[in-house]
Structure 1
Amino acid sequence: MQQDIVFSFFLIFAGAMVLATIALYTRQPVLIAYIALGAIAGPFGMGWIEHPDALTDMAHIGIIFLLFLLGLDMQPSALFAVLKKAMLVALASSAIFFAAGFGLTLAFGFSEMDAIIVGLAFMFSSTIIGLKLLPTTVLHHKHVGELMIGLLLIQDMLAIFTLILLGVLEGNSSMPVWQPFVALPLLAVGCYLIVKMVLLPLIMRFDRYHEYLFILAIGWCLTVAEGAKLVGLTHEIGAFIAGVTLATSPIAQFIAISLKPLRDFFLVMFFFTLGAGVNFGLLGDVWLPALVLAAAVLIIKPISFRYLLGNLSERPQLAWDVGFRLGQISEFSLLVAFVALQSQLLSEQGSLLIQATAIVTFVISSYIVVFSYPNPIAVSDKLRRD
């Protein structure tokens, strides 16, 4: 069926309205409704949207805005402190997750290269699930929010290194492995100087024009995101740097409030495209290993974070909180699978194994958080926190 962008938007948001209403009445997380809608309407379901990949780039903008808003509420000094504390935990946990993914995949008879790629995909937790289900007040002002941001940012850097490594293995990468690690501090310093010398004077001069401030914020976010991509980082890291460097602005909170509806608009599309990408016809080949790997993720990640953070004198309750919120694999895991498949380093069954594991862990992890920890979409009034 041929459809235009208006039809696609109609189907996504009208369908989301219906399924989200049903989800709320039945006390289910609304994220599950968006994923289910994608599975129903996508090419492997009813086929109403045959090419969801055309919507993927737009859906990705929601993640960019999410990281920009996080940066707006974090002062640089607080960021450096939390990164220093989270570094050891992030590296140690990544080693544990890689070993688990590699060993289990080999045990199911997959090739050694497939096992390596699955192990790499296991290392990362979902930025969007972890932060979307974290209340704004906790995210901005509580230690759990700072720890999660630090862990996720370090994982993002490891994901960039992984993608570069895959390019090196394929033989087509022109980027030195060290480039993103040099580019990151240079980009941060450059953005800080631009904000101080250009943006803050403009904001002080034209702070009465709210439309201008809104456009300036979006323009700055996307400019730095694109600049980060050009120097070997990711759009998400660039957007976060854009937010952190603008956090000293007196209108940072105004910008954050203004952009939240725009962010949520694109995040609905993200979860829709995630559900639409599931090929049900091939699930029969990998359903058992996918369930076992998903169970391993859901068990190993919370336990690992609990004891690693506990060794840093974090309270057990906080350590479990972080562990369960990061108890899934990541959007980056799907990107690793896509790049490895395109590079012929990963089999089609291995790619589907990662996709199926991601979907299962996204769904179950969301359920655990929504029904057990404070979050903005809790079905219980006791746990709902905006």
Structure 2
Amino acid sequence: MESSIVHSFFLIFAGAAIVASIALYTRQPMIIAYIALGILLGPSALSLINEPKLMDEMSHIGIIFLLFLLGLDMQPSHLINMLKKASWIALLSSIAFAILGFSVSILYGYSQIESFIIGIAMMFSSTIVCIKLLPTTALHHKHTGELVVGLLLLQDMIAIAVLLVLYSTASADDSTIMQYLKPLIALPLLVTGAFLFVKYILLKLISRFDRFHEYIFLVSIGWCLSMAVLAETAGLSAEMGAFIAGVALATSPISQYIATHLKPLRDFFLILFFFSIGASFNLDLLGLVILPALILAISSMLIKPVVFRYLLKGIKEDASTSWEVGFRLGQVSEFSLLIAYLAANIGLIGQEASHVIQATAILSFAMSTYIVILNFPNPIAISDKLRRD
């Protein structure tokens, strides 16, 4: 196993270095290059990587670090105000996108339950793509960034509720009610415990030993992953736990130091994430799913900006901000992939419907990335004018 992992890492990161170089020379987004590399090296093509599930589990750590770093840049008071303001927008937009997915799927002959699951998968936008393309210093402390993050967090909460329903369908036992109540009780306890722990223990430890940089690095990673595991144990998502861990530290001056030093670690795992998306796709089903997936991805990219434009108008957002938020949230989510895998595993949908969701996610990731890097400030823009770290 050890040599297999080393060999896999060699292929992934040596290959990523090559495709990234080609992408930069040809002025293409590197995210798309990583997904393409996954498809090429994965089981459906050259089959040089035969452990996509292992890679997927490891890449999940990248999402956890991404949310932790995002939390470090979010002031709790601003975040609470934004969540209050945008909650009804997240709910109404999710319903609109679900109707879109359901309608297109019915037209292409999928069963009602399959169309319903595809519709649900269309409700959410990708936290990882949106945040990856959101400048850390330029937008996180500005209104546009707060809107995007607030809507993403509310969508994540809806997605967690959907996943809980699917998990309860899979288990179908007497503990179903407890599965719903557990996260509702756990969330306020987790938030309160995190802020108290940071205030009375963590910050005191950091201030005492702040001259040891290695210690701060280890403590911050330990804090992030501990909260991720606690949240998962409590029936929430690991990502939400990591985000809470970051927000709890955000008011401390040390937060920006931690954010700067964890970025390389985050990028390491995010490469694995995008690679695993490509590696897990079955190319044999491409001919069956490409047309409905294209329709869904294009519809998502066209309709989501319009929906957000008019919903955000209801809270008096200007047209420019509303359009930008809509285009940044135009893709499908990584939660959609989880919904596809889980629904297929418990027999609610077939492999073809599952791959429609997967193909839609990949296509929408690509389309959204191109639209954002060509039109809005982002860290990987082709134009120097738009590039913002």
| TM-score when normalising by structure 2 | 0.97
For residue 97 of structure 2, what is the aligned residue in structure 1?
97
Match 1:243 to one of 240, 243, 246: 246
Q: Which secondary structure does the structure 2 equivalent of 1:135 belong to?
A: coil
Whether the 8 Å contact between 1:138 and 1:144 is mirrored in structure 2 is no
Aligned length: 386
Match 2:186 to one of 183, 187, 191: 183
For residue 274 of structure 1, what is the aligned residue in structure 2?
277
Residue 78 of structure 1 deviates from its aligned partner by 1.2
Q: Which secondary structure does the structure 2 equivalent of 1:242 belong to?
A: helix
Whether the 8 Å contact between 1:100 and 1:119 is mirrored in structure 2 is yes
Structure 1 runs (4+) deviating above 6 angstroms are: none
For residue 143 of structure 2, what is the aligned residue in structure 1?
143
User: Which amino acid in the other structure matches residue 277 of structure 2?
Assistant: L
User: Which amino acid in the other structure matches residue 181 of structure 2?
Assistant: W
For residue 39 of structure 2, what is the aligned residue in structure 1?
39
For residue 327 of structure 1, what is the aligned residue in structure 2?
330
Q: Over residues 253-291 of structure 1, what are the superposed CA-to-partner deviations in whole Å (9 max), with x where a residue is unaligned?
A: 110101001001111111011111111111111221111
| TM-score when normalising by structure 1 | 0.97
Whether the 8 Å contact between 2:294 and 2:360 is mirrored in structure 1 is yes
The 1-side partners of 2:254 and 2:239 are apart by 22
Aligned runs of 1:1-386 on 2, under 5 Å?
A: 4-172=4-172, 174=175, 175-386=178-389
User: Which amino acid in the other structure matches residue 131 of structure 1?
Assistant: I
Q: Over residues 136-187 of structure 1, what are the superposed CA-to-partner deviations in whole Å (9 max), with x where a residue is unaligned?
A: 1233211111111111111111111001111333443634323322211110
Unmatched runs of 5 consecutive residues or more in structure 2? none
Whether the 8 Å contact between 1:94 and 1:124 is mirrored in structure 2 is yes
User: Which amino acid in the other structure matches residue 287 of structure 1?
Assistant: I
The 2-side partners of 1:67 and 1:222 are apart by 11
Identity %: 58
Whether the 8 Å contact between 2:23 and 2:30 is mirrored in structure 1 is yes
Residue 3 of structure 1 deviates from its aligned partner by 5.8
The 1-side partners of 2:307 and 2:184 are apart by 27
Whether the 8 Å contact between 1:121 and 1:332 is mirrored in structure 2 is yes
Whether the 8 Å contact between 2:179 and 2:235 is mirrored in structure 1 is no
Whether the 8 Å contact between 1:3 and 1:49 is mirrored in structure 2 is no
The 1-side partners of 2:57 and 2:51 are apart by 12
Whether the 8 Å contact between 1:133 and 1:369 is mirrored in structure 2 is yes
Whether the 8 Å contact between 1:378 and 1:384 is mirrored in structure 2 is yes
Unmatched runs of 5 consecutive residues or more in structure 1? none
User: Which amino acid in the other structure matches residue 84 of structure 1?
Assistant: K
User: Which amino acid in the other structure matches residue 221 of structure 2?
Assistant: I
The 1-side partners of 2:296 and 2:249 are apart by 41
Whether the 8 Å contact between 1:114 and 1:345 is mirrored in structure 2 is yes
Q: Which secondary structure does the structure 2 equivalent of 1:141 belong to?
A: coil
The 1-side partners of 2:73 and 2:321 are apart by 21
For the aligned residues, what is the CA RMSD?
1.4
The 1-side partners of 2:296 and 2:153 are apart by 24
